[in-house]
């Protein structure tokens, strides 16, 4: 039986696992959390179940059906608490996959190494947040953090919150905040009506196919209207104020290119602000495996979801940000192909529909370069190493360097705890803007050979991997 | 719902079984619990384990992401400071 290894238990990974099983492969599914579902179906843990959980999610019954099918299957092993920290490239074969199983950031976790016939990476995405003065104050959260805390913990990030950024993801975040009794002061979307219309209003017949998604968004819009929460377009949070935590924010109107319009600033008292400007594919493992990545940072795949590395497939946000429906369709295709089968035509059709939807999303809410104008020289850009926008601009100007590697080493930007996950793309944008020519090695900040930190004790122990005595 | 208690820098802080350490701290009204190398306060930022802003020391073990680790009754959580220049 073919052995397929799936990394990531979100919608794409779950769909891939079930499809590979239907095509007769044995599957091991690695999930870092203690249950499957991913960020989309993030829910209360076992033992603290909420009978009303269904009301927190779209497609909850679909999730329950997927999870039940996975759990009931003896030839599908779900390993939770599985933290993949590196992969070893091999010629003509998928890489070896190194995992520690146990508590997040723990010690003495069980080392395992997998040698799969096919590897499906479904590691999802994380949020991109554009910096602004004060964005490192406690009380500034990514919108995803607010959503994770609401859905997975039932904890509110503040009493009176402003939600800001770009993209339809702001709307379910507002919905989650309202459910746990948070007052939402305003929703502030950076795209101006013209940008939104260019993305959403052209070729409306294409949207018909994705009407399930459109209906979901309309539901959120009705919720905002019913609560009389202002939804403002063409504006952004350009500063957060406070000493030890957020006490207020400044919102300004934006030009078409997202530069603040002087004189339009408004101060709004809030105790928290949630910000999101889109998502970045989580590509550590794919990059380490050697998979080709496009200019947008997404892993390049062919029609069968195969990457440039033999036996390695990807599905979901890793191939481009597109949401749950696209992730499910891509997972279905990747799982079938990984097991040596042919993808179902239905899944191929769904993928086409939701890729078009994703393209609209990018057109309507894509980041415009004018945002750099709301960063003063003192604005922290790299939160881990406290590197400011001024330091980055100055270094690029003084050294005349176009090499991102050397600029990182000089400024320390992207070299801290998060390894550039939070600031990497922003650092590249700022440095690119400095000389107008561009960087010699764009995308460099996404290279992280070690996908998550491992403790030295575990590293020394990892050669005694317990599931594969035959491997080095 | 099972109630638990963790010790945070000497204070007894109540929580619920299944909550992460970050959720227990936020629900207790704490917004910041780490300082960066230049002394700036940090708490939760990304909430999904990507930013490493929320690190704490748990039962003597440094650099644990509070948003990823579930709190266990009796956990001793110490707030940590990055090494200064």
Spell out, as residue ranges, where chain B has pLDDT lower than 50.
85
Closest-CA residue of chain A to B48: A145
Question: Across the interface, do A126 and B61 touch by the CB < 8 Å criterion?
Answer: no
Alpha-carbon span A230 to A428, nearest angstrom: 34
Task: For chain A, give the number of residues.
Answer: 472
Question: Across the interface, do B47 and A149 touch by the CB < 8 Å criterion?
Answer: yes
Cβ atoms within 10 Å of A253's Cβ, excluding its own: 18
Report A:241-270 residues touching B (Cβ under 8 A).
244-245
Which among A106, A141, A422 is the nearest to B44, CB-wise? A141
Q: Would you identify the CATH topology of the domain B3-80?
A: Ubiquitin-like (UB roll) (3.10.20)
pLDDT over threshold 80, residue A207: no
Report A:317-346 residues touching B (Cβ under 8 A).
none
* Phi, psi angles (nearest 5°) of residue B7: -100, 120
B23 vs A contacts (CB less than 8 Å): 149, 153, 155
What is the DSSP code (8-state) at residue B55? Answer: E
Closest-CA residue of chain A to B1: A48
Site from B44, B57, B77, B85 to mutate, A interface, most A CB atoms within 10 angstroms? B44
Q: For position A441, what pLDDT does the model report?
A: 86
Across the range A243-255, mean pLDDT stands at 97
Instruction: Using an 8 Å CB-CB cutoff, list residues of chain B that contact chain A.
Output: 1-2, 16-20, 22-23, 26-27, 31-32, 36-38, 40-53, 55, 61, 63-65, 67-70
Which among B22, B50, B65 is the nearest to A126, CB-wise? B50
Closest CA to A189 of A364, A372, A354: A364
pLDDT tens-digit readout, A438-470 = 888 888 899 998 999 999 999 887 677 767 666
Least confident range from A131-135, A184-188, A221-225: namely A221-225
Across the range A361-369, mean pLDDT stands at 93
A105 vs B contacts (CB less than 8 Å): 61, 63-65, 68-69
> Could you tell me the pLDDT band of residue A436, with boundaries at 50, 70 and 90?
low
Q: For position A213, what pLDDT does the model report?
A: 79
Give me Rg for the CA atoms of chain B.
Answer: 12
B38 vs A contacts (CB less than 8 Å): 386
Report percent pLDDT > 70 for chain A.
97
> Could you tell me the pLDDT band of residue A218, with boundaries at 50, 70 and 90?
confident
Question: Across the interface, do A142 and B64 touch by the CB < 8 Å criterion?
Answer: no
Alpha-carbon span B66 to A187, nearest angstrom: 28
Predicted TM-score of the model (pTM): 0.96
B68 vs A contacts (CB less than 8 Å): 104-105
| A136 alpha carbon, distance to own chain's centre | 20
Which among B38, B41, B47 is the nearest to A148, CB-wise? B47
Site from A109, A140, A149, A446 to mutate, B interface, most B CB atoms within 10 angstroms? A149
pLDDT tens-digit readout, A300-340 = 999 999 999 999 999 999 999 999 999 999 999 999 999 99
How far away is chain B from the Cα of A137, in angstroms, using its nearest Cα?
A: 7
A148 vs B contacts (CB less than 8 Å): 47-48, 67
Which among B32, B40, B65 is the nearest to A104, CB-wise? B65
Q: For position B50, what pLDDT does the model report?
A: 97
Contacts made by residues A459-467, CB under 8 angstroms, sequence distance 24+: A461/A108, A461/A111, A462/A98, A462/A100, A462/A111, A464/A111, A465/A98, A465/A111, A465/A112, A465/A113, A466/A110, A466/A111, A466/A112, A467/A112, A467/A113, A467/A114
pLDDT tens-digit readout, A381-426 = 999 999 999 999 999 889 888 888 889 999 999 999 999 999 999 9
Q: Which residues contact A470 (CB under 8 A, 6 or more apart)?
A: none
How far away is chain B from the Cα of A194, in angstroms, using its nearest Cα?
A: 30
Instruction: Tell me, yes or no, if A283 comes closer than 8 A to chain B by beta carbon.
Output: no
Question: Across the interface, do B51 and A421 touch by the CB < 8 Å criterion?
Answer: yes
Q: For position A208, what pLDDT does the model report?
A: 75
Closest CA to A13 of A303, A308, A298, A313: A313
Closest CA to A116 of A27, A30, A17: A27
Across the range A190-213, mean pLDDT stands at 84
A106 vs B contacts (CB less than 8 Å): 61, 64, 69
A391 vs B contacts (CB less than 8 Å): none
* Ranges of each domain in chain B: 3-80
Report percent pLDDT > 90 for chain A.
83
Q: For position A47, what pLDDT does the model report?
A: 86
pLDDT over threshold 60, residue A151: yes
């Amino acid at each position: 039986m073919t052995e397929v290894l799936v990394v990531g238990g979100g919608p794409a990974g779950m769909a891939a696992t079930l499809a590979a099983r239907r095509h007769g492969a044995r599957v091991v599914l690695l999930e870092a959390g203690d249950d499957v579902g991913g960020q989309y179906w993030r829910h209360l843990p076992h033992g603290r179940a909420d009978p009303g959980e269904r009301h927190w999610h779209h497609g909850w019954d679909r999730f329950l059906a997927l999870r039940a099918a996975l759990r009931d299957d003896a030839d599908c092993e779900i390993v939770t608490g599985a933290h993949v920290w590196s992969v070893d490239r091999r010629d003509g074969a998928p890489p070896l996959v190194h995992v520690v199983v146990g508590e997040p950031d723990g010690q003495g976790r069980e080392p395992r190494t997998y040698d799969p016939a096919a590897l499906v990476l479904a590691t999802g995405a994380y949020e991109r947040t554009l910096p602004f003065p004060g964005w490192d104050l406690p009380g500034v959260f990514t919108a995803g953090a607010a959503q994770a805390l609401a859905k997975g913990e039932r904890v509110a990030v503040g009493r009176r919150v402003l939600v800001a950024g770009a993209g339809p993801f702001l709307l379910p975040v507002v919905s989650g905040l309202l459910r746990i009794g948070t007052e939402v002061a305003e929703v502030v979307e950076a795209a101006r009506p013209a940008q939104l219309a260019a993305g959403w209003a052209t070729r409306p017949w294409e949207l018909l196919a994705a009407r399930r998604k459109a209906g979901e968004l309309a539901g959120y819009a009705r919720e905002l209207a019913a609560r009389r929460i202002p939804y403002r377009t063409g504006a952004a949070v350009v500063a957060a104020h406070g000493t030890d935590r957020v006490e207020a924010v400044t919102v300004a109107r934006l030009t078409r290119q997202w530069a603040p319009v002087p004189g339009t600033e408004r101060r709004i008292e809030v105790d928290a602000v949630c910000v999101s400007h889109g998502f970045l594919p989580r590509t550590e493992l794919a990059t380490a495996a050697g998979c080709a990545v496009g200019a947008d940072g997404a892993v390049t795949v062919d029609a069968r979801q195969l990457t440039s590395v033999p036996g390695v497939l990807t599905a979901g946000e890793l191939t481009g940000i597109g949401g749950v429906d696209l992730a499910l369709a891509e997972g279905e295709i990747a799982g079938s192909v990984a097991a040596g089968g042919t993808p179902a035509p239905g899944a191929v059709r769904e993928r086409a529909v939701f890729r078009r939807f994703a393209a609209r999303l990018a057109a309507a809410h894509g980041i415009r370069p004018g945002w750099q104008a709301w960063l003063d020289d003192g604005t922290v850009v790299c939160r881990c190493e406290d590197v400011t926008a001024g330091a980055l601009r100055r270094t690029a100007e003084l050294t005349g360097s176009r090499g991102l590697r050397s600029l990182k080493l000089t400024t320390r930007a992207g070299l801290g705890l998060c390894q550039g996950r939070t600031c990497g793309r922003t650092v590249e944008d700022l440095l690119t803007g400095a000389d107008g020519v561009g960087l010699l090695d764009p995308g460099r900040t996404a290279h992280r050979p070690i996908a998550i930190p491992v403790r030295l004790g575990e590293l020394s122990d990892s050669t005694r991997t317990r599931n594969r005595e035959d491997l080095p | 719902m099972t109630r638990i208690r963790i010790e945070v820098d000497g204070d007894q802080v109540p929580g619920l079984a299944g909550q992460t350490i970050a959720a227990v701290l936020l629900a207790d009204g704490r917004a910041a619990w780490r300082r960066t190398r230049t002394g700036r306060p940090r708490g939760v930022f990304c909430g999904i384990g990507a930013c490493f802003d929320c690190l704490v020391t748990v039962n003597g073990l440094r650099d644990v992401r509070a948003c990823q680790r579930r709190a266990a009754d009796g956990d001793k959580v110490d707030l940590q400071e990055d090494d200064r220049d």
